[in-house]
Structure 1
Amino acid sequence: MTVHPMLAEALDAHGGLDRWRHFGFLSATIVTGGEFWAMKDVVQDSDPRRSTVDLRREWATLNRYGNPDWTSVFTPDRIAIEGADGTVIAERFDPRAAFAGHGMTTPWDPLHRAYFNGYALWTYFNAPFLLAEPDFVIDEIAAVEVDGETWRGLGAVFPDRIATHSKVQDFYFGPDGLLRRHDYHVDVAGGFAAVHLVSDYVEVEGIHLPTRRRAYQRGDDMEPKWNPLMVSIDLTGFQFG
């Protein structure tokens, strides 16, 4: 399989595709904030939660979810909230259809949010390595200049099999090859454009992973709208399985 040369450089900078494929799961403790949740009429706290994603298929969990003993379990065709013994508290099949007609401020129920959390965290944890899958279409796009640095860009067309923010997403890499910025449209919330900045990398078992994520709305000039901060995610305790 041939990987786009610029993507190959980025994958090597993050620890290498061969090393990444040695692992099956990635877990981290996350603390989430930002103004987006209030826009969706969702209560957000600063309690730490544990997220685990599958690195081979689209599957993710988040614990705790709503109750200390509950866990959200995401796949593209089903979202569920389960008790500690596996009892289904709530579930929804074909969960993407439940967002039809939604805008940025349309209220969400717990299953809406669980689905959003699931696909978003799965995408974030697997980037940029998922871009090497053969059914992605990858092309170089215009770079952006940030504080005297050039961040080279790759545009990605996601295959239909993957539930994610939007079919077309852009990824920008710093001079060291590490991912710095991730742009997309939030289709489940009216399709607004977002800029997602990643930083503060750590190395875990040879893989470089960002511990700080900040998402903002994107203006017509392609720059972040710094107010409000839409979503913040701080990550610790990465563990591969």
Structure 2
Amino acid sequence: MKKINWHTVRLIFVVFVMIFLFAFSLKRNSERKISKIDIKFESNENMFLTHEMVNNLLIQKFGGASTIQKDKVDLNTLEAVLDDHEMIEKAQVFSTIDGFLSTRITQKTPIVRVITDDESYYLDSKGNRMSLSENFSARVPLVTGEISERNCKPFLFLFNEIKKDDFLSKNITGAQIMTSGNVVLTNRSYDYKIVFGKPINVEKKLKNYKAFFQHAIKDTVIKSYKEVNVMFTQQVVCKK
């Protein structure tokens, strides 16, 4: 009579138990309801959206969180819904083992606020339009004059350069776009206008203005200037 190999039997039994537990756990996990929506903003710099607003967007898409199973949630669809929102740069949505629907939101960053006769709105770094928010007002330059969504792209490089520079973002408060395409900037500290010209040689012109300001601030005569012209890349021309 052949002797039973109990070691092999135990090994087979353990394997079957592990398969059963895995299948049982997988089934229980698939039947688990979404118990909570966890929303986190990656940056607190621009709070155009609130947790409640994002929560409502998600609930509108799949109904109440407690009424739907985890495996029924289409994460890609939810991400697409959030990404389509004009205030959201990027959204990540994933579910956790304990039944949480976790959402990570990166909001868009406005670089200017455009003011026309009919409306007012923000533009982000890519020229995308953003509506104003009742929750937050961004401290960005106000842009007026001959500008619209259709012709803003030539000026975006200038606006982005101002935004990313710590001194310029604090000093430049406005930009007027003339019919000729020239730009006139305003500053926070003094009454003079900065005649920038067309948005070409942007980096050189801004560098010249910063050098002028750092030198002129040491002299009280800066208060008497009415115009600072940086159109010519080789020099800065001031008028009293």
Q: What is the TM-score when the length of structure 1 is the normalising length?
A: 0.21
Q: Which has the higher strand share?
A: 1
Q: With a CA cutoff of 8 Å and minimum separation of 6, indicate the structure with the bigger relative contact order.
A: 1
Q: Which has the higher helix share?
A: 2
Q: What is the TM-score when the length of structure 2 is the normalising length?
A: 0.21
